[in-house]
Amino acid sequence: MTSGMVAGLRQRKYAVLLALLCLALAIEMAIATGAERVFSDALNTVLAFSIWFVVFERARERTAMAAILVVAVAINWARYFAAANLDHALSLADQTVTSFLL
Phi/psi-derived region of residue 34, left when phi > 0, alpha when psi is between -120 and 50, beta in every other case: left
Per-residue model confidence (pLDDT) at position 7: 56
Distance CA 38, CA 36 (A): 5
Q: Give the DSSP per-residue string, 12-31.
A: HHHHHHHHHHHHHHHHHHH-
Residue 91 belongs to domain spanning: 3-101
pTM value?
A: 0.69
Helix (H, G, I), strand (E, B) or coil at 53: helix
CA distances from 18 to 50, 56, 89 (A): 10, 16, 30
- Which residue, among 97, 50, 53, 49, has the nearest Cα to 75 in the 3D structure? 97
Per-residue model confidence (pLDDT) at position 42: 84
Cβ atoms of 97 and 75 closer than 8 Å: yes
Per-residue model confidence (pLDDT) at position 24: 75
Overall number of domains in the chain: 1
What pLDDT tens digit does each residue of the chain (102 aa) get? 555 555 565 667 778 877 877 877 777 767 655 567 787 788 888 888 888 888 888 889 889 989 988 998 998 888 888 888 888 888 888 888 878 876
